[in-house]
């Protein structure tokens, strides 16, 4: 059922070479879930210059579903796609979730209640569990916890990396334009580009802006992906954390 009113909720889903997930019907499932809700919503697919048939697929999908719109980007990576999508959002509440639905969209119900309780940022938390995840993914996750504390001095959030996060309208339109500014609007990248540092910096910035952050335990299951490169991602994460530390020393987040 199409929603014609101004949306209460905006859902941003980054998309780069996602045919495996698209063909198993993840978008149909997300739309069906929100169609059962009693509020208007929009889904923004941040299409990131896919080299497979993802663009053709999501374009066709949006023509069948008026509440779905496509944001076509040059290949600027997941962080850039999420940021641009959140900036474009029109909802009173905005969230982002992954196309693979490792955290099922049904977990929305667990997060939304906390925005009405005075929280500005509500994030899914896997509570340290990575069931089914390869050892390399678990090492990256645990290493990130240690490094973000040692290098960036970031504390107070146990799971920064779960790709299921929700924001009030004010927090959305303060944090994400600032993230875009910090990265000069995001430049084109090559290959799969998923940086663990993005989530850390986003939440680090939220803390510095005085926003109340709530972690909510969510269901999570491992979905196989070829986007994780252990060595490259580890190096990129350390460099990103160093940049966060330098920005902090320069007072950029205040």
Among 78, 96, 66, 65, residue whose Cα is nearest residue 17 = 78
- What pLDDT is recorded for position 234? 78
Which of the 8 DSSP states describes residue 183?
T
Q: Under 8 Å CB-to-CB from 61, ≥6 apart: which residues?
A: 22, 27, 68
Distance CA(212)–CA(109), nearest Å, equals: 19
At 83, give phi and psi (nearest 5°).
-60, -50
What CATH superfamily classification does 9-249 receive? Spore Coat Polysaccharide Biosynthesis Protein SpsA; Chain A (3.90.550.10)
- What pLDDT is recorded for position 1? 42
Q: Which residues of the chain have pLDDT under 50?
A: 1-3
- What pLDDT is recorded for position 3? 45
- What pLDDT is recorded for position 141? 67
- What pLDDT is recorded for position 145? 75
Question: Order of strands, edge to edge, in the sheet holding 213-217?
Answer: 68-72, 41-47, 9-15, 93-96, 165-168, 121-125, 213-217
Q: Under 8 Å CB-to-CB from 177, ≥6 apart: which residues?
A: 87
- What pLDDT is recorded for position 175? 98
Q: Under 8 Å CB-to-CB from 144, ≥6 apart: which residues?
A: 160, 161, 196, 200, 237
Over the stretch 92-151, which tens digit does the pLDDT of each residue have? 999 999 999 999 999 999 999 999 999 999 999 986 555 655 666 666 667 777 888 888
- What pLDDT is recorded for position 254? 77
Q: Are 32 and 57 in contact (CB under 8 A)?
A: no
Which of the 8 DSSP states describes residue 2?
-
- What pLDDT is recorded for position 190? 78
Cα first-last separation, the chain: 43
- What pLDDT is recorded for position 2? 45
């Amino acid at each position: 059922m199409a929603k014609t009113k101004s949306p209460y909720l905006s859902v941003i889903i980054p998309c780069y070479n996602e045919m495996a997930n698209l063909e198993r019907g993840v978008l149909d499932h997300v739309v069906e879930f929100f169609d059962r809700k009693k509020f208007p919503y929009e889904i923004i697919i941040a299409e990131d210059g896919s080299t497979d048939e993802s663009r053709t697929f999501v374009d066709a999908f949006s023509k069948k579903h008026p509440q779905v719109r496509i944001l076509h980007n040059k290949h600027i990576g997941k962080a850039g796609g999420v940021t641009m999508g959140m900036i474009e959002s029109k909802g009173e509440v905005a969230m982002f979730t992954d196309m693979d639905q490792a955290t099922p969209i049904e977990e929305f119900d667990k997060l939304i209640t906390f925005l009405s309780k005075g929280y500005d940022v509500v994030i899914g938390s896997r509570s340290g569990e990575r069931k089914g995840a390869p050892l390399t993914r678990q090492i990256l996750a645990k290493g990130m916890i240690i490094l973000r504390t040692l290098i960036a001095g970031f504390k107070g959030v146990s799971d920064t990396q779960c790709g299921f996060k929700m924001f009030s309208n004010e927090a959305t339109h303060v944090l994400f334009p600032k993230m875009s500014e910090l990265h000069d609007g995001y430049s084109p990248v090559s290959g799969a580009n998923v940086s663990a540092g993005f989530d850390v910096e986003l939440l680090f910035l939220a803390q510095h802006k005085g926003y109340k952050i709530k972690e909510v335990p969510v269901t999570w299951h491992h979905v196989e992906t070829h986007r994780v490169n252990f060595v490259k991602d580890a190096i990129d994460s350390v460099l990103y954390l160093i940049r966060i530390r330098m920005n902090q020393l320069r007072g950029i987040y205040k």
